[in-house]
Amino acid sequence: MKILVGLGNYGDEYAGTRHNVGRDFLFWFASKNNFSEFKNDAFLKALVSEGEYNNQKYVLVLPQTYMNLSGETVVNIFKKWSEVNHEDVVIIHDDIDINFGEIKMSTDKGHGGHNGIKSILNLTGQNLKRIRIGICPKAFFGGFKKPNKEQVANFVLKKFGLMERGEVENIYKKVVDKV
């Protein structure tokens, strides 16, 4: 069994925001692959969906905590499914240090200032596999336009721009290749 955890904030007002790209990906993935309807799991503090992809059982987990408390759900995954080892859990989240549309896999990296990852590291003590989805717009002359430190919270909670929204499904297809 593989477990995918999509980070984001719960609530309709956060759907489609940069910070919710991991969470929104799992909603999309579940709908495209006929997974079960997401159901509340009080122990995990999460919504959970199950299904098969490429002949492998997957559990999709969406923490129902705010981003900064994502570790509460992840630590409970290992309590609920004691047979699951750390290699079977993949965290999918936004990354402001990567250009919009780029995808990176990582393990054994720090939190990079991402509060959801910081919470997971603090509560599990584990560096889990991660799929990082770039959310930073590309600059006109290359590189990217990362907001300054004071603007980061507002930036990640904004919805993608109109042209970016048209690219989101293509980004999700790249993430599926990593899954």
Residue 86 catalytic?
no
Q: DSSP 3-state assignment of 111?
A: coil
Annotated active-site residue in 19, 93, 111, 114: 19
Bridge partners (DSSP) listed for residue 176: none
Q: How far apart are CA 45 and CA 132, in angstroms?
A: 23
Token pair in block for residue 64: 């129902």
Structure tokens at 131: 């799929």
Whether 4 and 179 have beta carbons less than 8 Å apart is answered as: yes
CA gap 110, 124 in Å, rounded: 13
- 127: which 2 tokens? 């560096």
**Catalytic sites, residue numbers:** 19
